[in-house]
Homo-oligomer: A and B are copies of this chain.
Amino acid sequence: MARSTLYQQVASELRRAIYSGDLGPGDQLPTEADLMTSYGVSRNTVRLALGELVNEGLISRTPRRGSIVRDRRPLLMYPQRELTPQPASVPREAFGFAVSQEGREPSQVIEVSIVEPPEDIAIRLELPDGGLAVVRRRLRFVDGQPYNTNDSFFPHALVRDSEIVRPGDILRGANRVLEELGHPQVRVVDDISARMPTPAESSRLELEPGTPVVEYVRVGYDSDDVPVRVAVSVLPADKHLIRYELERR
């Protein structure tokens, strides 16, 4: 689909150095001249690579100080990748996979319960009146810092006999379990909006005052177009960037 050009390779190596901590917040990157020498590329290639990192919020560039690693390192999310079947050799759920790909350490706390869900969720799941859902509420950490929350709702009738209803992590991911139950998600609808956090969210996610959150709701449908999962993510705006790649049909 996309070309993986020289500059993207250079960007990728620098990104890894930042995420691995070899380059920490406030550190200076090598100069353009040094990068040209060490990678054997042109100045333009170096600039394009650094530009990528600026756009991702990883570094800032000033004429005097050069390129500096920023304190705030937003997590780049690719909602489309969750739809691509992962190789069987990578039995991880999507968040853990994306974070560890960046050389960072994911962890999460999960609470599982059976609930009569809020009306907007019940509607999205097309539940009958009084219908039950299993909700897996996750607080996710990156390198030990609270990062975002993800509450995934499933129709109870569908998942009652599966791992989804049991407490604890599902290493291969709940989407894989849905597949095994004969309900792979073949279509999703993603709704993205932003708002100020609730006081509970501020405290749970340790937000700085004045930090908005992105609310990202994904409804997944199986091949009969029946909704099988509603996932509500609350993403602190200073720590997340969502990216979609689309091709003209």
* Chain B residues whose CB sits within 8 angstroms of the CB of A51 once the complex forms: 119-120, 122-124
Binds B, one of A20-28, A100-108, A162-170, A184-192: A184-192
Binds B, one of A89-97, A109-117, A234-242: A234-242
Contact call A61/B119, Cβ cutoff below 8 A: yes
Instruction: Name the one of B83, B122, B210, B243 contacting A189, with C-beta atoms under 8 angstroms.
Output: B243
Instruction: Name the one of B126, B190, B191 contacting A246, with C-beta atoms under 8 angstroms.
Output: B190
- Tell me whether A241 and B187 are in contact in the complex, defined as CB-CB below 8 angstroms, given that A52-B123, A83-B248, A196-B212 are known contacts: no
Contact call B119/A187, Cβ cutoff below 8 A: no
A79 sits at the interface (CB 8 A): yes
Cα distance A11–B194 when bound, in Å? 24
Contact call B225/A3, Cβ cutoff below 8 A: yes
Cα distance A11–B128 when bound, in Å? 18
- A73 CB, nearest partner CB in chain B, Å: 13
* Contact mask for chain A residues 206-249; partner B; CB cutoff 8 A; 1 contact, 0 none: 00001011100000000001000000000001101111111111
A138 sits at the interface (CB 8 A): no
A1 sits at the interface (CB 8 A): yes
* Contact mask for chain A residues 50-68; partner B; CB cutoff 8 A; 1 contact, 0 none: 0110110000010000000
17 sample A-B contacts, Cβ–Cβ < 8 Å, listed by A number: A47-B123, A51-B123, A54-B120, A55-B120, A79-B244, A83-B248, A187-B246, A187-B247, A188-B245, A190-B246, A191-B242, A192-B243, A192-B244, A193-B240, A195-B238, A196-B212, A214-B214
